[in-house]
Amino acid sequence: MSQRYAATDAPAFDGTRGGVVTDFDTHAGLGYVTSDDGDVYLLHCINIADKTRDIAVGQRVEFSTVTRFGRAEAAAVVKLQA
């Protein structure tokens, strides 16, 4: 079954925030990060800072945002130690 991923209406912000990966499809290279504030951001695998293009659901992260096509997406996603 294929799931469609799309950018959300979450606001862009300056600096970085903490959050958790709440969904990620390795095959599609897409998922979502939910910030500690509860906003949900689209995550594309090219925005994972360590360039692995894979990340586990439940992984704690720190991220910034980038605006693409008028919507904020997670960027510079750094995996944090537990």
**Length of the chain in terms of residues written:** 82
Residue 76 located in a structural domain: no
pTM, to two decimals? 0.91
Give the model's pLDDT for residue 5: 83
* Tally of domains in the chain: 1
Q: Provide DSSP, 25-77.
A: ETTTTEEEEEETTS-EEEEEGGGBTTS-----TT-EEEEEEEEETTEEEEEEE
Residue type, 40: V
DSSP three-state, residue 2: coil
Inside any domain, residue 31: yes
Q: Residue 57 belongs to a domain with what CATH number?
A: 2.40.50.140
Kindly state whether residue 18 falls inside one of the protein's structural domains. yes
Structural domain span for residue 56: 8-65
pLDDT in tens, the chain (82 residues): 446 788 889 999 999 999 999 999 999 999 999 999 999 999 999 999 999 999 999 999 999 999 988 899 999 999 999 7
